[in-house]
Amino acid sequence: MKQYDAVIFDWDGTIMDSTQSIVSAIQLACVDMQLPVPPRERAAWVIGLSLESALYHVAPDLPADQLSAFVDRYKHHFFQNDQTIPLFEGIPEVLSGLKEERVSLAVATGKGRVGLDRVLQASNLQHYFDMTRCADEAKGKPDPTMLFDIIHGLGLDPDRVVMVGDTTHDVVMAHNAGIDSIAVSYGAHDIDTLFGAEPTVLVHSVEEMGDWLSGRLVPVVR
């Protein structure tokens, strides 16, 4: 059985139950900008990408000079309640258990730094993570730069690192970085879509994710 001494998490749809909040913010921003409103499935598919890339995917005909205004309208709607969005049930317990196993924990997210710091503070989870990397600090998913930054920054062995995420963007990013991946089906992308990206394993709950990791962890050697 392969063992890991580091776990890298996506945030939205993996740790925080924010899929519907993001979808709603995208749709409301489209209304504000007088753009066609994307259906839920299309808006959810872009979750995990950098914000600019995500908005271009849902509004491909948006003039470049209107992107900044589109971003502002999205942030206006999302930041109204981002600090009250709940974590998925069981996440604090899983993170606490991983920390007790003395493995390295990190976050690689499509969020910007300001947005991640807001929810880290609101959720009181910041003390669990040894490093975090955001889409405005590196190339966005599925480019593997965020993962390389974490691996190099923490001195990790890629063969002992696993990425946890709820979208194909996470799984493909892990493939591109040469590391294993756990796809979770309780977030933005559906089971068939995730399965097609060929994750190392596909799980369907926080509890199942924690159980899969249990027994596959070894303390990191620094």
In 10 A of CB 222, how many CB atoms? 8
Asked if the peptide bond before residue 219 counts as cis, ω within 30 degrees of 0, the response is no
Cα(1)–Cα(173) distance, rounded to whole angstroms? Answer: 23
SS3 string, 167-180, reads CHHHHHHHHHHCCE
Cα(87)–Cα(18) distance, rounded to whole angstroms? Answer: 8
| Catalytic residue list contains 12 | yes
Instruction: Report the SS3 class of residue 31.
Output: helix
The residue from 5, 10, 170, 180 that is catalytic is: 10
Cα(96)–Cα(102) distance, rounded to whole angstroms? Answer: 10
Which amino acid type is present at position 9? Answer: F
In 10 A of CB 90, how many CB atoms? 14
| Catalytic residue list contains 149 | no
Cα(166)–Cα(194) distance, rounded to whole angstroms? Answer: 8
Cα(168)–Cα(198) distance, rounded to whole angstroms? Answer: 9
Residues known to be catalytic: 10, 12
